[in-house]
Copies of this chain bind each other. A is one copy, B any other.
Amino acid sequence: MPLDHQGPLGRLRRGHEELVLRLLRTHGPLSRGELGRLSGLSRTTLYDIVAALADGGAVVGTTPVPAERRRGRPVETLTLHPDAGQAIGIDFARRAVHVAAVNVAHEVIGSSSQAHAADLGWEDRVDLAERLVAGLAGGTLRLGALSGIGVGVVGPVDDVPPDDTPLARPALADLPLLLRKRFGVPVLLDNNTRLAALAEATWGAAAGVQDVLYLRLSYGVGGGLVVGGALHRGAHGLSGEFGHITAEPEGRRCSCGKDGCLETVASIGAVLDAYGTAADLPAFLAALPHDPAAARVLDTVGTRIGTVLAAVCNAIGPDVTVLGGELAAAGPSLFHPVERALLAHLMPISRSRADLRAAALGEAGGALGAIALVLHESPLLARYPAPDSLE
C-alpha cells in the first residue's frame, strides 16, 4: 500500500476512498456510473480511487455473463472483497499478545491470543503478532485494504501523533515504526486499559453508547473515558486516571507518590490486605459467599469507589458506567455498595439515569479496542459519516 496518504492531498484522497467503500457497503454492488452519481466525484477521480482499491484487494469488479446476447459490453459492477481486512488490533499485554481483525464491512473476522514470557523482546512480540494475524480467517485475510493497525500497550502512552514519533519509554520507541514496516499502514497506539474502555463502548457492555466511563479494578486501578463515541485521551495522554483520584485524604501513600489514591483502597492488593488473611484473589472470591468479613471489606471498598465515580459522573455525565477487571468478578458484593455510594453523591436529577454495568469483554478487549481506535479515530474514516448515521 502506498504511503502517500499522509498530508492534505493524501487525506482528501483517502476520504474519497472511504466514501466509495461506504457507498459499496450501504448500496451493495454498483456500476462505475452509479458510483459517480452517488459520490459526486469526477470520472477521473473515481477511476483512480477504484483502481487503488482494486489493487489493494478491497474492491473486485465482476462482469456478469449475459443470459442472452445484448448490444454493447456488459456493465462491470464493483463489490467489496469479502476477505479484505479493514483494520487489525494488537494488544501487547504483559505476558501475552492478543490480535483481532475486522473486514471492510466492520465485522470481526476473528481474534487470537498467545501467552509468552514477560521478558520477551519487542522484535519477537511483533513476530508473534504477525504470525497470529496471518492465521486469522484461516489465512485468507487480505491485508491490501488495511487502513491501519491499532495497538494497545501497558502503561501510560504520551500523547503522540500516529506513526513514527518516538515514545517516552525507550522500549516502546521503535514499536510503531516496526509495525509500520511489517504491515505498511499507519499505526495508532494507546494504553490497553483505555482501549478496553473503547472496546466495551463498541462491542461490549456499553455497545453503541456515546459516553462511557470504564473503571478497571485489577492489580492497579485505572480506566478510560469514551466521549461522543471516541476515546478521550486528555492532555499528555493522562486521562482516565481514576485510580489516582484522592479517595481518603489521610490515606496510605500510593505508588504514584500521592496519599490516599483510590488505588490504595480498591486495587486487588489493597482488598487482600484489608481482608488480612494470606488469600489470593480466587480464594477471596471463593470466601465471599460465606465470610461476612470479606463482604465487609468490599462494602467499604465499594463505597469509596462509588463516591469517586459520582464526582466523575457529575463532571462528565456518562450514559453508562462499566466496572471491569478481575475484582469486578466479585459481583453484587461489590456492585451494591458502589451503586449505593454513586447514587448518594450524584446530582439528584441524574440519579434515575445512572446505569452501572459489568464489563462484558474478556482478554480480547484490548485488541478489539485497538481496532475500534482505527475505525473511530482515523481521520480517513471520520471524514464521512458512518453508515448507520447515513441511513
Query: Is A308 part of the binding interface, using a Cβ–Cβ cutoff of 8 Å?
Result: yes
> How many Å from the CB of A387 to the closest CB on chain B?
10
A236 and B347 contacting across the interface, CB-CB below 8 Å: no
B42 and A311 contacting across the interface, CB-CB below 8 Å: no
User: With A41-B41, A235-B353, A258-B345 in contact, do A312 and B315 touch (Cβ < 8 Å)?
Assistant: yes
| Interface hit among A169-177, A289-297, A357-365, A378-386 | A378-386
Q: How many residues of A contact B (CB 8 A)?
A: 59
> How many Å from the CB of A163 to the closest CB on chain B?
16
Q: Bits for A237-273, please: 1 = Cβ < 8 Å to B, else 0.
A: 1111110111000000000111000000000000000
A234 and B316 contacting across the interface, CB-CB below 8 Å: yes
Query: Is A12 part of the binding interface, using a Cβ–Cβ cutoff of 8 Å?
Result: yes
User: With A315-B316, A316-B316 in contact, do A256 and B347 touch (Cβ < 8 Å)?
Assistant: yes
Q: Bits for A305-318, please: 1 = Cβ < 8 Å to B, else 0.
A: 00110111011111
A232 and B241 contacting across the interface, CB-CB below 8 Å: no
B40 and A16 contacting across the interface, CB-CB below 8 Å: yes
Which residue on B lies nearest to A241, using beta carbons? B314
Query: Is A114 part of the binding interface, using a Cβ–Cβ cutoff of 8 Å?
Result: no
Query: Is A319 part of the binding interface, using a Cβ–Cβ cutoff of 8 Å?
Result: yes
Which residue on B lies nearest to A227, using beta carbons? B227
- Name the B residues within 8 Å of A211 (CB-CB): 234-235
Which residue on B lies nearest to A239, using beta carbons? B317
Q: Bits for A16-30, please: 1 = Cβ < 8 Å to B, else 0.
A: 100000000000000
B234 and A317 contacting across the interface, CB-CB below 8 Å: yes
Query: Is A66 part of the binding interface, using a Cβ–Cβ cutoff of 8 Å?
Result: no
What does DSSP make chain A's interface, helix, strand, loop or mixed? mixed
Q: Which residues of A contact B (CB under 8 A)?
A: 8, 11-12, 15-16, 36, 40-43, 45, 156, 210-211, 225, 227-228, 230, 232-242, 244-246, 256-258, 307-308, 310-312, 314-319, 345-350, 353, 379, 383-385, 390-391
B308 and A311 contacting across the interface, CB-CB below 8 Å: yes
Which residue on B lies nearest to A43, using beta carbons? B42
B43 and A246 contacting across the interface, CB-CB below 8 Å: no
> How many Å from the CB of A357 to the closest CB on chain B?
14
- Name the B residues within 8 Å of A232 (CB-CB): 227-228, 316
Which residue on B lies nearest to A391, using beta carbons? B8
- Name the B residues within 8 Å of A12 (CB-CB): 40
User: With A230-B228, A308-B311, A385-B379 in contact, do A319 and B235 touch (Cβ < 8 Å)?
Assistant: yes
The CB with the most chain B CB atoms within 10 A, among A12, A40, A238, is that of A40
- Name the B residues within 8 Å of A310 (CB-CB): 245-246
- Name the B residues within 8 Å of A15 (CB-CB): 384
B348 and A316 contacting across the interface, CB-CB below 8 Å: no
- Name the B residues within 8 Å of A8 (CB-CB): 385, 390-391
5 contacts between A and B (CB under 8 A): A40-B45, A156-B349, A238-B347, A246-B345, A383-B384
- Name the B residues within 8 Å of A391 (CB-CB): 8
Which residue on B lies nearest to A308, using beta carbons? B311
User: With A8-B390, A385-B379 in contact, do A315 and B240 touch (Cβ < 8 Å)?
Assistant: yes
Determine the distance from Cα of A316 to Cα of B213 in the docked complex, in whole angstroms: 11
User: With A258-B347, A348-B257 in contact, do A315 and B41 touch (Cβ < 8 Å)?
Assistant: no
Q: Which of B230, B256, B346, B385 contacts A348 (CB 8 A)?
A: B256
Which residue on B lies nearest to A315, using beta carbons? B312
Determine the distance from Cα of A239 to Cα of B36 in the docked complex, in whole angstroms: 43
B314 and A349 contacting across the interface, CB-CB below 8 Å: no
